[in-house]
């Protein structure tokens, strides 16, 4: 089954997520090709060979410099039409999700997202998807090719298969007018790190349930008492309550501390993928139905404003003793 993997890159490096998907596809015997899209990205093609790509299509064009999805749909759709790829695989990201969904509409192709595994059953590609806040696992498939898949971030490790450098092949770049209408005014670059939370043994993370930016002092106080770092959800980072460097989740950090304390966090999938590797998860949320309780070791139904000040005092006492 001819398979194409979208190789996302940032600041001159291929991302781990898509390399993991590439390695998985190679391991499944799909003999995947990769596609790298951008400006000045030719060198990146070679790197993909070590992760299992026999060939890498390269679309190198100044109009592709900004990581915007719509022109990437044009490039990949042309490759699928020309070479008849049966599977197009993506590692989930903000960019990849938009490319994959645009491509699905362009090709009238099925898209399964948030896949936690890929397999071949009876010669057919299958996916495993956790649905309804991970309360159900679904085996999913496609009614016909091309089959498009978004794999949940961090699912597959980028293992080197030992194969040599991939052969770069030029991909044609013909862009639709509407695809180039959106423009990047200012592009994100890896922000100057604050104190790194990735190495912390204890993380106290705050979400919108803290109620107000100044209430992050509750998370900070408890973190200090426990000797840990402070984390945050995207909702509070987007709202400007806390810096991006503290964000945990799909578009933030992936952490696996010994203890993760979630204060006023609902437990959305995109948050969960960044912290589910924590050894012990304690959540305080006033909504007994909050999804976070589905994957907490200790779930406390209650108000953070009542519980956290007392908890911080008690921890200080214990530590002092």
Partner 1 sequence: MKVAVCVKQVPDAAASRRIDPASKRLDRSGETALNPFDANAVEEALRLKETAGGDGEVVLVSLGPEQALDALRKGLAMGADRALLVADEAAAGSDLVATSYALAKALEREQPELVLFGQQASDGDGACLWAAVAERLRRPAISQVAELSVDGGSVRGKRQTEFGYDTIEAPLPAVVAVSDAINEPRYPSLKGIMGAKKKPQEQLSLAELGVEADRAGGAGSRTVVLALSAPPGRGESRRIEDDGSAAEQIVAYLEEKRLL
Judge whether 129 and 265 are in contact, CB under 8 Å.
no
Give 5 or 304: the residue with its C-beta nearer to ligand FAD.
304
Residue 59 near which of partner 1, ligand FAD, none (CB within 5-8 Å, type-dependent): none
Contact 87, 245 (CB under 8 A): no
What does 134 bind: ligand FAD, partner 1, none (CB cut-off 5 to 8 Å by kind)? partner 1
Q: Which is nearer to partner 1, 170 or 227 (CB)?
A: 227
Whether the bond between 59 and the residue before it is cis, its omega within 30 degrees of 0, is: no
* Residue 81 interaction partner, one of partner 1, ligand FAD, none, beta carbon < 5-8 Å per kind: none
- Interface map 260-299 toward partner 1 (x if CB under 8 A): ---------xx---------x-x-x---xx---x-xxxxx
Window 117-136: residues binding partner 1 (CB under 8 A): 126, 130-136
Phi, psi of 25 (to 5 degrees): -60, -40
Residue 264 touches which member of ligand FAD, partner 1, none, C-beta under 5-8 Å by kind: ligand FAD
Binders in 33-52 for partner 1, by CB under 8 A:
none
14 binding partner 1? (CB under 8 A): no
Q: How many residues are there in the chain?
A: 321
211: left (phi over 0), alpha (psi -120 to 50) or beta: left
Task: Name the residue nearer to partner 1 (CB basis): 17 or 168.
Answer: 17
Size of the site for partner 1 (CB under 8 A): 96
Measure the CA–CA gap between 74 and 145, rounded to whole angstroms.
Answer: 18
Residue 70 binding target from ligand FAD, partner 1, none, CB below 5 to 8 Å by type: partner 1
- How far apart, in whole angstroms, are the C-alpha atoms of residue 129 and residue 118? 9
Q: Is 214 in the site for partner 1 (CB under 8 A)?
A: no
- The residues, any chain, with a CB within 8 Å of residue 57's CB and separated by 6 or more, are 4, 33, 34, 35, 36, 79, 168, 169, 170, 171
d(CA 24, CA 311): 45
Quick check: 143 binds partner 1 (CB under 8 A)? yes
CB of 307 to partner 1, least distance (A): 5
Q: Which residue, among 46, 69, 67, 41, has the nearest Cα to 56 in the 3D structure?
A: 46
Residues engaged in binding ligand FAD (CB under 6 A):
94, 207-209, 233-236, 247-252, 264-266, 268, 270-271, 274, 284-287, 290, 303-305
234-263: contacts with partner 1 (CB under 8 A): 234-239, 244, 250-251, 258-259
- 3 touches partner 1 (CB under 8 A): no
Q: How far is the CB of 169 from ligand FAD (least distance, A)?
A: 31
Q: Quick count: other Cβ atoms within 10 Å of Cβ 317?
A: 10
The residue (of 49 and 152) whose beta carbon lies closer to partner 1 is: 152
Q: Are 278 and 297 in contact (CB under 8 A)?
A: no
| Angstrom distance (rounded) from CA 109 to CA 88 | 10
């Amino acid at each position: 089954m001819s398979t194409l993997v979208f190789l996302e890159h940032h600041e001159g490096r291929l991302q781990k997520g898509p390399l993991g998907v590439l390695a998985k596809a190679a391991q499944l015997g799909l003999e995947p090709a990769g596609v790298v899209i951008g400006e000045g990205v030719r060198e990146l093609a070679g790197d993909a060979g070590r992760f299992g790509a026999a060939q890498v299509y390269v679309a190198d064009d100044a109009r592709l410099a900004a990581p915007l999805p719509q022109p990437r749909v044009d490039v990949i759709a042309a490759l699928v039409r020309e070479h008849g790829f049966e599977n197009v695989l993506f590692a989930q990201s903000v960019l990849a999700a938009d490319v994959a969904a645009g491509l699905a509409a362009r090709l009238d192709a099925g898209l399964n997202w948030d896949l936690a595994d890929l397999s071949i059953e009876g010669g057919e590609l299958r996916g495993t998807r956790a649905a309804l806040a991970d309360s159900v696992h679904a085996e999913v498939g496609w009614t016909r090719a091309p089959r498009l898949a978004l794999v949940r971030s961090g699912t597959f490790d980028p293992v080197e298969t030992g194969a040599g450098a991939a052969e770069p092949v030029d991909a044609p770049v013909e862009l639709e007018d509407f695809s180039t209408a959106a423009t990047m005014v200012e592009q994100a670059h890896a922000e100057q790190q604050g104190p790194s939370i990735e190495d912390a043994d204890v993380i106290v993370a705050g979400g919108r349930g803290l109620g107000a930016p100044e209430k992050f002092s509750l998370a900070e106080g408890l973190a200090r008492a426990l000797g840990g770092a402070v984390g945050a959800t995207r909702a509070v980072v987007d709202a400007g309550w806390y810096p991006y460097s503290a964000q945990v989740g799909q578009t933030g950090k992936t952490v696996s501390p010994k203890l993760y304390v979630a204060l006023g966090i609902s437990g959305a999938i995109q948050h969960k993928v960044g912290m589910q590797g924590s050894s012990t998860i304690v959540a305080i949320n006033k909504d007994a139905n909050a999804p976070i309780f589905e994957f907490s070791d200790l779930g406390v139904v209650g108000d953070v404003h009542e519980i956290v000040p007392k908890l911080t005092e008690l921890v200080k006492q214990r530590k002092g003793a």
